[in-house]
Amino acid sequence: MLEGRDLTKSFYVKQGRSPLARKARVHAVEAVTVRLEAGKVTALVGESGAGKTTVARMLAKIIKPDAGEVLLDGKPAPAGRPRSYAAQVQMIFQDPFASLNPVHRIRHHLMRPLQIHHMTGGNVDKAIAELLNRVALKPAENFTDKFPYELSGGQRQRVAIARALSVRPRVLLADEPVSMLDVSIRLGVLNLLADLRDREHLAILYVTHDIASARYLADTIVVMYAGQLVEAAPSVSLTDHPAHPYTQLLLAAAPDPDRAETPKLADRGAPPSLLAPPSGCRFHPRCPYAMDICKRQAPPSFAVSSGHIAACWLHAQPGEQGAIKNGAFSTPAGQLDIEKQKR
Ligand code: SF4
Residue-wise pLDDT tens digits, 252-310? 887 776 666 666 666 667 788 888 889 999 999 999 899 999 999 999 999 998 889 99
Ligand 1: centre distance to CA 250 (Å): 15
- What is the gyration radius of the CA atoms in the chain, in angstroms? 22
Q: How confident is the model at residue 331 (pLDDT cuts 50, 70, 90)?
A: very low
Residues of the chain with CATH 3.40.50.300: 2-222
Q: How confident is the model at residue 93 (pLDDT cuts 50, 70, 90)?
A: confident
Its pTM stands at: 0.85
Which amino acid type is present at position 264?
A: K
Ligand 1 site-directed mutation target among 289, 309, 341, most atoms within 8 Å of CB = 289
For the CA atoms of 102, 108, 114, 117, what is the dihedral angle to 10 degrees? -70
What percent of the chain is predicted at pLDDT more than 90? 47
Report whether residue 313 contacts ligand 1, using a CB cutoff of 6 Å. yes
Q: How confident is the model at residue 336 (pLDDT cuts 50, 70, 90)?
A: very low
| Sign of the alpha-carbon dihedral angle for 252, 256, 258, 260 | positive
Each residue's pLDDT tens digit, 174-220: 998 887 777 777 888 888 899 889 988 999 999 999 998 999 999 99
Nearby residues of 241 by Cβ (< 8 Å), 6 or more positions away: 304, 305, 308, 343
Report whether residue 245 contacts ligand 1, using a CB cutoff of 6 Å. yes
Q: Atom of ligand 1 at shortest distance to CA of 246? A: 6
Nearby residues of 177 by Cβ (< 8 Å), 6 or more positions away: 92, 94, 157, 161, 189, 193, 206
- 2-222: CATH topology is Rossmann fold (3.40.50)
